[in-house]
Amino acid sequence: MKQNRPQHSRRSWLRNMALAGSAGWLASCRQEAPQAPAAPGTKADYSNEEYVWISPHANLPLYKAHDHPALLVAAKELGVKATITGPSTLDMGMFVSMIETTIARRPSGILISAWDPSVVIAPIAKAFEAGIPVVTVDVDAPTSKRLTFIGTNWFDLGVRQGEAMAKALAGKKGKIALLGLTEQYIDQQAFAGFRSVIEKAGLTPMEPQHDKGDSAVAARVASTIIQSTPDLIGMAGFDSESGPGIGLAVKEAGKIGQIVVTCVDAEPVHLNLIKEGVVTAAIGQKRELFTYLGLRVLFDVNHSPLKFTANDRKAGVSPAPEVINTGSYTVTRENVDVFLKPA
Amino acid sequence: MPESTSTPINPPAPVTRKGGFRLTRETVLLLLMLAAIIGAAVAFPRSFPTWANLTALLRNMALDGVMGCGMVVLMVSGVFDLSVGSMFSMVGVLTAWMMTSAGLPPVLAIPAGLAIATLGGILNGWMVAKVKVNALIATLGTMQVFRGIAVLVGGPGIANLPPQFSRLGQTEWLGLQSPIWLLLVVAVIGQFLLARTRFFRKFYYIGANPKAALLSGISVEHMQIFAFALMGLLAGLAGMTFAARVATATSTSGDGAELRIITAVILGGASLSGGRGTVWGTLAGVLFISLINNIMIFARLSPEWQSIIIGCVLVIAVGMDRFLGRKK
Cβ contact (<8 Å) for B56 and A224?
yes
In sequence order, what are the residues at sequence separation of 6 or more whose Cβ sits closer than 8 angstroms to the Cβ of residue B11?
Answer: B198, B201, B202, B203, B204, B205, B213
Do A124 and A231 sit in the same domain of this protein?
A: no
Instruction: Kindly report the average pLDDT of chain B as a whole number.
Output: 88
> Residue A136 is which amino acid?
T
Do A142 and A181 sit in the same domain of this protein?
A: no
Given a contact cutoff of 8 angstroms between Cβ atoms, the answer to whether B243 and B249 are in contact is: yes
Q: Which residues of A touch B294 (CB under 8 A)?
A: 224
Whether B160 has its CB under 8 Å from any CB of chain A: the answer is yes
Do A271 and A160 sit in the same domain of this protein?
A: yes
Domain assignment of residue A280, given as a range: 154-285+330-340
Residue A324 lies in a domain: no
Domain count, chain A: 2
Residue A257 lies in a domain: yes
pLDDT of B19-30, one tens digit each?
555 667 778 888
State the pLDDT at residue A288.
97
Residue of B nearest to A226 (CA): B53
End-to-end CA distance of chain B: 30
pLDDT of B219-274, one tens digit each?
999 999 999 999 999 999 999 999 999 888 988 888 889 988 999 999 898 988 88
Nearest-CA distance A261 → chain B (Å): 16
Residue A144 lies in a domain: yes
From A87-101, A328-342, B16-30, B164-178, the region with the lowest mean pLDDT = B16-30
Do A229 and A103 sit in the same domain of this protein?
A: no
Q: How confident is the model at residue A118 (pLDDT cuts 50, 70, 90)?
A: confident
Mean pLDDT across the stretch A15-39?
53
In terms of pLDDT, which residue wins out, A40 or B132? B132
Residue A316 lies in a domain: no
Do A164 and A238 sit in the same domain of this protein?
A: yes
Do A82 and A99 sit in the same domain of this protein?
A: yes
Taking 90 as the threshold, does the pLDDT of residue B86 lie above it?
A: yes
Domain count, chain B: 1
Residue B40's CB is within 10 A of a number of other CB atoms, namely 22
Q: How confident is the model at residue B322 (pLDDT cuts 50, 70, 90)?
A: low
Report chain A residues touching chain B, CB-CB < 8 A. Answer: 59-62, 64-65, 88, 182, 206-210, 212-216, 219-221, 223-230, 240-241, 244, 248-249, 252-253, 267-269, 271-272
CA–chain centroid gap for A66, Å, is: 10
Cβ contact (<8 Å) for B159 and A272?
yes
Which CATH number characterizes residue A279's domain? Answer: 3.40.50.2300
From A92-96, A269-273, B119-123, the region with the lowest mean pLDDT = A92-96
Cβ contact (<8 Å) for B52 and A269?
no
Nearest-CA distance A104 → chain B (Å): 27
Residue A33 lies in a domain: no
Domain assignment of residue B254, given as a range: 53-323
Do A148 and A177 sit in the same domain of this protein?
A: no
Do A279 and A172 sit in the same domain of this protein?
A: yes
Mean pLDDT across the stretch B294-306?
86
Q: Which of A273, A221, A224, A220 is nearest to A244 (CA)?
A: A273
Length of chain B: 328
Taking 60 as the threshold, does the pLDDT of residue A192 lie above it?
A: yes
From A290-299, B100-109, B319-328, the region with the lowest mean pLDDT = B319-328
Mean pLDDT across the stretch A291-314?
89
Which of A183, A269, A272 has the most B C-beta neighbours within 10 Å, making it the best mutation to test the interface with B?
A: A269
Note the pTM of the prediction, 2 decimals. Answer: 0.80
Do A335 and A211 sit in the same domain of this protein?
A: yes
Whether B297 has its CB under 8 Å from any CB of chain A: the answer is yes
Bridge partners of residue A109, in order along the sequence: A51
Q: What is the C-alpha to C-alpha distance for residues B216 and B226, in angstroms, rounded to an integer?
A: 19
Which CATH number characterizes residue B250's domain? Answer: 1.10.3470
Residue of B nearest to A68 (CA): B155
State the pLDDT at residue A23.
56
Residue A5 lies in a domain: no
Do A59 and A199 sit in the same domain of this protein?
A: no
Q: Which of A164, A165, A161, A123 is nearest to A141 (CA)?
A: A123
Q: How confident is the model at residue A94 (pLDDT cuts 50, 70, 90)?
A: confident
Handedness of CA B274, B278, B281, B286 (dihedral sign): positive
Taking 50 as the threshold, does the pLDDT of residue A89 lie above it?
A: yes
Mean pLDDT across the stretch B159-179?
92
Nearest-CA distance A323 → chain B (Å): 27
Do A166 and A267 sit in the same domain of this protein?
A: yes
Do A62 and A197 sit in the same domain of this protein?
A: no
